[in-house]
Amino acid sequence: MIDVRLFNFIHGFTDKFWLFDWLMTLVARYLGYVLVLGFLALVFWEKKWRPRLYFLFLAAVSLLISRGLITEVIRFFYKRPRPFSALNFTPLIEPLASVSFPSGHAVFFFGLAAVVFYLNRYWSWWFFAAAILMGLARIFVGLHWPTDVLAGALVGILITLATRKFLAHH
């Protein structure tokens, strides 16, 4: 299966160079905090209070629906084990007890990047690049399959697009 091959390719770079392992672990664990702080900074740099409130509301609603509802419904019906469980190895960061599909991190941070796209196009590309890097890092450390990250990205982006379209009509 291509998912396992791609996982083995990305995860195969672990334990080759300690600094790379450390950097990817750092990205997998902490880059999300930087993105949330960056988003809040972008929102509060907005001079007018109505757009500021709109983007906070768009982020809150779309992320609540995508990560808090859709992701959990998918996980309820499809309980895919994480790679370290399926392949019986110890991941680089502490194992999570939850199922793997879709990646909750990918849902959240690709959804956040989609909100930033409407707020500030220039910064959105940095947010998308960081979300991709975080997804790769979470594969690298052994927590997700590549399709977990891809599905999470799609759920996060599509729900944000749908939420924005819904809010625009009401």
For the chain, how many structural domains are there in total?
1
pLDDT for the residue numbered 76:
94
Q: Give the per-residue SS3 of 20-87.
A: HHHHHHHHHHHHHHHHHHHHHHHHHHCCCHHHHHHHHHHHHHHHHHHHHHHHHHHHHHCCCCCHHHHC
CATH number at residue 14: 1.20.144.10
Question: Is the pLDDT at 43 greater than 60, yes or no?
Answer: yes
Q: Higher pLDDT residue, 163 or 51? A: 163
pLDDT in tens, 58-107: 999 999 999 999 999 999 999 999 999 888 888 888 877 788 999 999 99
Q: pLDDT class for 169, splitting at 50, 70, 90?
A: low
Supply 141's token pair. 């450390």
Q: pLDDT class for 130, splitting at 50, 70, 90?
A: very high
Flag whether the pTM goes above 0.85: yes
Pairwise CA distance, residues 149 & 131, whole Å? 10
Structural domain harbouring 147: 2-168
Residue 55 identity (one-letter amino acid): F
